[in-house]
Structures are given as structure tokens and as C-alpha cells.
Amino acid sequence: MRVHVIGLGGAGGRVVDRLAADHDGDPFLHGISAFDTDMEALGSLQSIGEERRYRFGDAAGGDGLDGDLHAGRELGEVHASELGRALDDQCPSLAEAFVLVLGVGGAAGGGAAPALAAELETLYDAPVYAIAVLPTPAESDADGEAGPGAEAGPAGGGGSGRGGDGGSTPRRPLAEKNAARTLGALSDRTAAVFPFDTDAWLGGGETIDDASDRLNGVLADRIAALFGAGEGDDDAITPQQVLDASDVARAVGDAGETAALGYATQEVEPPETESRFGLGLFGSSEPEKVDTSAAVSAVETVIRKATRGKNTVEMPEGRADRTLLVVGGPPAWLNREAIAEGRRWLAEETGSGAILSGDAPVPGGGEVFALVVRSGIDEPDRIREIRTSIPDRAE
């Protein structure tokens, strides 16, 4: 499906910058933009061209908002139409969905996202999805140390992303409260919310600054795997089960529910199609056969790892109302029986009443991958912790 991805605030901008570095030019990435109130944060982006970066909120003076979500909301409401117009040169009307990426603990992204989602929904007949990067508990801990560079990675998203000087980065005591309010607003204004639990993805003793590049890559990979599954070059091999925008919409719903992404890969040997003499094997251009047991094992392994491995957010008991499975890789490795069996296993594992699936052949690729999307899940503990930072959950 063709999507327009928008990074909002510092964290959102950095994730989308990594997406542009890895996937700009891929057919699924119809448009890509970065919006922020902080000129320095926008200037630090390396892969999104200046024409696709846009600073809004002159009232902020070109700096960040220091966690003031109320100010961010006001700027978002005032500038939503302006931000919508900033997309015009990328033909947003051709996008099949809009994806907002933001750190919900900050003010610029969290403030602007609900208003921009409402604006896009009004202008275009396409769903709006949110990738919500959650702050770590340390960021709001008044007694603990957030660690050096705690705002430099994808978490939070309120700061400019500038690292520290080896000491502790100033903490953001409002991060969890901002996140609680923003998650509630996103649930009201978007079709689905995909939280990313930054804290769960940090290794022991690892700071956000240490993990920044890796975590941005984790999110970029999953965004590309989900929205790129049904899009290929004109001369690409057609999937046997084509995944389109309506399948994604059916899987994640349209009521602002929480959804989780699981993803796994396994390296494989692509079948050889040419001999050392430059001719097809035995005079044929047909690829050599892949051992069936090896293909079955690879498919089963990635499906189970994507399901039971670390997801973008904790999966309580693995249950979900709806589930989407995408399996991709070199066509010869996409064993149909193994995929069908994996789908049956996934239905039992998740208890989902609806299992949708698609395949994503990658000619010449060197790995088999599986993406598992679960929607209508029980509230993860981390989301519950964030929501209870505001006892009455007032907006």
C-alpha cells in the first residue's frame, strides 16, 4: 500500500529520517515529511531533504517546547491546516494511508498529532495510523538518573535529540503525563495506534543514546515490512496472496485500538539461476529447487519468532481480536503449505476470530521474514502504567 509517513517532533523526525535512509524510493513510500517546532532538530536530519522538512509554530521561537503539551496542542490546532498544505507537493491525495510517527512523551509531536490526524481525515479518504514511541520510566523519575543522552533516541520525542556531555540529561517529569494524554487523543483521532515500548527494547545498562541507531532501525524495519508488503516494482513477482490497504484496515480496525507488531528474519541462500559459464543451470534460466524441509523450517521459524518474540509492545498472553500475517523472502523459499500451517498455528496462538495474510516475494533476497500484526489486544502493562500517571485520565 502507498503511504505518506510524517515524523512529528524530535523522536518522530529521527525515526522517519532512518526510514528515508533505508527505504526512500521504495514503492510503498509515497511521501515522507518531518514537522517540528525545533529548527536545530530538523537541521540534524540527514536523509530527508530540506524541501520535505517543515518548521511550524513561530510562537515557539524556533526552539523546542520543553515538554509543555498544552502549548503543543495550541500550536497543533492553529497550524493543522498549514501542515496539511505542506504535504501538497507530494500528492497526498494518492496515498492510501497516512502514518504519523511521534514520541508521545514530548510536546511538539504529541501536541500536533491529534489535530493533524483530524485534518488529514477531513481532507482525504484514507485512514491515519499512529506509531507512538513511549517514554522510558527513567525520564519521568524525579529521583533516578535518566542517563547520558536520554533524549537522543526515539523515546520521548520532546527534545531536540542533542546528546549530553557525559552527565545525566535533564529529566522530563511530564513525559508520562504527556504520554497518557496523547495516547488518549490519538485513540480518539486515528484508526489505530502502534505503541513502541522503548524501555523494553533497551539492553541491560544501555542508555537511549547508546541504542538510538538500533531502535530507529527496529521501527523503520517494521514500518516498511507492514506497509511495503503489497507494493512492488512493476516487474516484480506478483504475490499469491496480495495484501492491500483494505486488508491492513480490516486487521487493525478503525476505532483507535492498540496494535502490536512482531517481526523476525532468517538468512537463507537464494537459489542460483546462473552457472559459472554465464548460462542458466543446465542450459535453463529456471532457478534451482530449494529443499522443501529447509523452506518449511525457515517459514515456521520466522512465524513463531515474530509471534512469541519481542513485539513493539508487550503482548499479554498473546491474545488478539484480529491478526495479520505477512511472510516474505525469495519466492522459492515461500512454501505455501508451511505458510498455511503457520496461519492455522497463529489462529490457535492468538485466539483471533479473523486471520488475514499475505506474502511478499523478494526476488534475489537473502532472508525469509514474517510480520505479525495483532489488534484489539488486552492493555499492555506499560500502557496501563502510563495511563495511571493521570488518575482521572483527564484530557
Helix residue spans in the chain (DSSP H): 9-23, 39-43, 69-85, 108-123, 137-140, 175-189, 198-201, 208-227, 245-252, 292-308, 336-350, 381-387
Q: What angle do CA 311, 314, 320 make, to 5 degrees?
A: 85
302: CB partners within 8 A, 6+ apart? 264, 265, 266, 327, 368, 369, 370
Closest CA to 118 of 29, 188, 184: 188
Contact 182, 162 (CB under 8 A): no
Separation of alpha carbons 241 and 235, rounded Å: 17
272: CB partners within 8 A, 6+ apart? 281, 287, 288
Q: Sign of the C-alpha dihedral, residues 81, 83, 88, 93?
A: negative
Separation of alpha carbons 289 and 271, rounded Å: 7
Closest CA to 30 of 97, 104, 108, 130: 97
Q: Sign of the C-alpha dihedral, residues 101, 106, 111, 112?
A: negative
Helix axes 175-189, 108-123, angle to 10 degrees: 0
Contact 326, 359 (CB under 8 A): yes
Partners of 3 in the β-ladder? 29, 97
139 is in an annotated binding site: yes
187: CB partners within 8 A, 6+ apart? 193, 256, 257, 258
Across the beta sheet with 3-8, the strand order is 53-55, 29-36, 3-8, 97-103, 128-134, 192-197, 257-267, 367-375, 322-329, 354-361
Separation of alpha carbons 368 and 380, rounded Å: 29
Q: Can you tell me which residue has the cell 503482548?
A: 315
Binding site residues, as ranges? Answer: 139, 216
Residue numbers in the known binding site for GTP are 139, 216
